[in-house]
Chains A and B, each alone.
Chain A
Amino acid sequence: EPEVTQTPSHQVTQMGQEVILRCVPISNHLYFYWYRQILGQKVEFLVSFYNNEISEKSEIFDDQFSVERPDGSNFTLKIRSTKLEDSAMYFCASSEIRTATNEKLFFGSGTQLSVL
């Protein structure tokens, strides 16, 4: 069964450093997403991406964050200057289509980011 893959599974970084989280969405999917989940809290939407541009972003997704699809398979989330509060599990997701009634998301297993 096709799946979304994320690397690394765990990333440790120093405050102020840049990190890039990587995702390979399911190959025939067209819509890509990043979510985060701080320990013990809800899954929070960050950004959605379609046709090589951001289609929607939340207020969490400020200038510190950027997304890119550098080639035909990878989808990356960059955090420019990490803060302690960026420590969370980051989930990538993809969906095949996005219609009024069908936006089923398939999630990767996540990257646990720890900012020290």
Chain B
Amino acid sequence: RKEVEQDPGPFNVPEGATVAFNCTYSNSASQSFFWYRQDCRKEPKLLMSVYSSGNEDGRFTAQLNRASQYISLLIRDSKLSDSATYLCVGGTIFGQGTELSVKP
């Protein structure tokens, strides 16, 4: 059975903090990995792809460790607008999401 596991949180952090999310996947055949963001009662929106070589987009950095079947997302200098649920995806399978709440 294919599974993607995440810590559901919530992570409550102050503005400007650095926060890291982790995710593990069970299907070693998965080839594509992503982080999505979901705001309350809205559709998931693609945040970034995840590669073994690492992928950085502004304040966001994603990393894939195939040996450990582990994916990470790092958010630096967090903003109030980063408050959302972050979904880890392996292939077509979503994790349960990690809730982030950034406080002033």
A interface residue numbers (CB < 8 A to B): 33, 35, 41-45, 48, 56, 89, 91, 99-110
> Cβ of B94: which chain A residues have Cβ within 8 Å of it?
35, 42-45
Determine if B34 and A43 form an interchain contact, defined as CB atoms under 8 angstroms apart.
no
CB nearest neighbor in B for A46: B92
Contact with A along B45-71 (1 / 0, CB 8 A): 110010100000000000000000000
Determine if A45 and B92 form an interchain contact, defined as CB atoms under 8 angstroms apart.
yes
> Cβ of B96: which chain A residues have Cβ within 8 Å of it?
41-42
- Is chain A's interface secondary structure helix, strand, loop, or mixed overall? strand
Contacts A43-B87, A101-B32, A104-B49 given; does A91 touch B44 at CB 8 Å? yes
- Is chain B's interface secondary structure helix, strand, loop, or mixed overall? loop
Determine if A104 and B46 form an interchain contact, defined as CB atoms under 8 angstroms apart.
yes
**Can you list 13 A-B pairs with a CB-CB distance of less than 8 A?**
A35-B94, A42-B97, A45-B92, A48-B92, A89-B41, A101-B32, A104-B46, A105-B44, A105-B89, A106-B46, A107-B44, A107-B45, A110-B43
CB nearest neighbor in A for B45: A107
B interface residue numbers (CB < 8 A to A): 31-32, 34, 38, 41-46, 49, 51, 87, 89, 91-97
Contacts between chains A and B (CB distance < 8 A), count: 50
Determine if B97 and A101 form an interchain contact, defined as CB atoms under 8 angstroms apart.
no
Determine if B91 and A101 form an interchain contact, defined as CB atoms under 8 angstroms apart.
no
B93 to chain A minimum Cβ distance, whole angstroms, is: 6
> Cβ of B41: which chain A residues have Cβ within 8 Å of it?
89
A61 to chain B minimum Cβ distance, whole angstroms, is: 12
| Chain B CB within 10 A, most for which of A89, A104, A109 | A104
CB nearest neighbor in A for B94: A43
Of the residues B43, B93, B95, contact of A107 by C-beta under 8 Å: B43
Complex: A100 Cα to B51 Cα, angstroms: 11
> Cβ of B95: which chain A residues have Cβ within 8 Å of it?
42
Complex: A104 Cα to B95 Cα, angstroms: 16
Complex: A42 Cα to B89 Cα, angstroms: 11
Complex: A89 Cα to B34 Cα, angstroms: 21
Determine if A109 and B97 form an interchain contact, defined as CB atoms under 8 angstroms apart.
no
